[in-house]
Structure 1
Amino acid sequence: MSGAEERVGPPALLWQVLEGRAVFELGAMAWLYPLLRQAPRGDGHPVLVVPGFLASGSSTFPLRQFLKSLGYAAHRWKQGRNLGGVGETEERLLGRLRELRRRYGRKVSVIGWSLGGMYARELAWMAPEDVRLVITMGSPFRNHTGTAVTLLYEDVSGQSEAHMDPALLARLSQPLPVPSTSIYTRTDGVVHWRCSLERPSATTENIRVLGSHCGLGHNPLALWAIADRLAQPEDRWRPFRREAFRRFAYPTPDRGD
């Protein structure tokens, strides 16, 4: 995110009103759970899951339980409710990351939902030696003002873009020093989808799914994509492959040029 970054407004009112779809996505996860258990399995490394704005670790429970069923050591962030503070919260979260790195003796994959994805990206810059890969879900790292909750965020956190570190703002949208995947939906009712697009590089990608913003943490398509990304051997990352059934399930992703 920089001064040259394209400015977009909040998502269309229609998508904001339809965010209630998240309830049906949770039901779809339950209904499809036997199929989801067939998702790719990896080496069981530790995974840190960071919630979105105003949410607590409990919001990531379905996702963490799914990852545990695949053998991963999935953990919540243990920072209470996410009340914002980009550039501040990461310092506290860094201790949690390093605790998991010491406990398991392995690099940690970090998954961040919405605002949590901005923290996840900053952790990768702060401690690339501890982060295996980053996955964001509906995170506004390209332009965090293009959301339906910008004014609420500024009121709750007391933080506006004008008071953020310019270097941090510029860094948020740049390709990370570790592999990174952005999962987004064009019908996101909280974050404009253009704000969630990774810039093209050898280790970045965008995966487009159908669904809502509030349902991304339990959207069956998002869950399968997350499992696929985590299952890759360490240091042998490759982009998500839309082949066979995936070509129909996952729309062609947009480029973040």
Structure 2
Amino acid sequence: MPLFNKKDTEPDHMPPPGLPLLALELRAPWEFGAVLPAWPVLQRAPLGDGHAVIVFPGLTAGDATTVPLRRYLESRNYETLGWGQGLNLGPREGVLDNAKRQLQAAYDASGGKVSLVGWSLGGIYARELAKEMPELVRCVMTLGTPFAGPHTSTNAWRIYQFASGRSVEREAESYNLPEAPPVPTSSIYSRSDGVVAWRGSIQAPARHNPHTENIEVVASHFGIGLNPSAWWAVADRLSQPQGPGVVWQPFQRPQLPGMHLIFPDPHR
């Protein structure tokens, strides 16, 4: 059964999450609190090869919010970087150009392709950078990023317009947001997201890039970047080897007890 059909993506059929889900966003601190008891399991995620990873924060957030995720990835043998542009207030003048320069600098310094991880709005940057500079990007991962639905499918679009001073509808018209980058791309999402309609984070099958996937976790929007299950998924995706003859593999639940509850079947 498909995750959605064309009718689901029309504005009238993709409303933002309702008040019950929005109220559940208060669980975000408990998601981060789960990191400590989950740490022994998180350390069983595959080790990386040391390549560079840039992590982009969500709307009105800064690099401080991605420190926990970046420290975890460093423990799995990655060189991590924040985006280094203060609070994310939207793609104002110079923001995307600075992001391109950072990506080029990270590629030059590391001597290899760079992975991009983006939380919410930060995932839009990651995807668009990978479209413009695919030769520098190894893979893209987004966390609760609304790229597949209308702007009214989120509870944050008014905040975006206030923070950026731009029309979100006009901004979206400048990009083909649903189109996946031409590199391996994973969308990590939650059906209990209280800010973004979960269908707005679903990648349709990509004809020109079969290396796209959707990974469901149980998380809030404000907590997905601090959620142990999302961390595991990010570490797993980053660890995939690259090179001649290497075949990309989609995400598989870890073979540990209870994983069907932590990583639900997205096709259910």
**TM-score clears 0.5:** yes
Give the drift of 1:217: 1.0
Which residue of structure 1 aligns with residue 193 of structure 2?
Answer: 188
8 Å CA contact 2:57–2:63 kept in 1: the answer is: yes
User: In structure 2, which of residues 242, 246, 252 is the aligned counterpart of residue 241 of structure 1?
Assistant: 252
Amino acid at match of 1:44: G
8 Å CA contact 2:56–2:126 kept in 1: the answer is: yes
Amino acid at match of 1:230: L
8 Å CA contact 2:92–2:164 kept in 1: the answer is: no
After superposition, the Cα gap between the structure-2 partners of 1:97 and 1:254, relative to the gap in structure 1 and judged at 3 Å, is farther
Give the drift of 1:212: 0.6
| Alpha-carbon displacement from aligned partner over 1:132-172 (angstroms, at most 9, x marks no partner) | 0000000001123311111111122122244226351xx21
Show the 5 A alignment for 1:172-187.
172-187=177-192
Which residue of structure 1 aligns with residue 161 of structure 2?
Answer: 154
Give the drift of 1:107: 0.3
Amino acid at match of 2:264: P
Give the drift of 1:9: 1.8
**What secondary structure sits across from 1:129 in the alignment?**
helix
8 Å CA contact 1:44–1:72 kept in 2: the answer is: yes
Please list every run of 5 or more consecutive structure 2 residues that lacks an aligned counterpart in the other structure: 1-5
Q: TM-score, normalised by structure 2?
A: 0.88
Give the Cα separation in 2 of the matches to 1:121 and 1:198: 12
**What secondary structure sits across from 2:53 in the alignment?**
strand
8 Å CA contact 2:148–2:202 kept in 1: the answer is: yes
Q: TM-score, normalised by structure 1?
A: 0.92
Give the drift of 1:234: 1.6
- RMSD between superposed Cα atoms in Å: 2.0
Give the drift of 1:116: 0.2
Show the 5 A alignment for 1:180-219.
180-201=185-206, 202-219=210-227
Give the drift of 1:34: 2.2
Matched-pair identity in %: 45
Which residue of structure 2 aligns with residue 251 of structure 1?
Answer: 264
Which residue of structure 2 aligns with residue 145 of structure 1?
Answer: 152
Give the Cα separation in 1 of the matches to 2:72 and 2:172: 36
8 Å CA contact 1:142–1:195 kept in 2: the answer is: yes
8 Å CA contact 1:90–1:122 kept in 2: the answer is: no
Which residue of structure 1 aligns with residue 231 of structure 2?
Answer: 223
**What secondary structure sits across from 2:186 in the alignment?**
strand
Give the Cα separation in 1 of the matches to 2:106 and 2:134: 14
Please list every run of 5 or more consecutive structure 1 residues that lacks an aligned counterpart in the other structure: none
Q: How many residues align?
A: 251
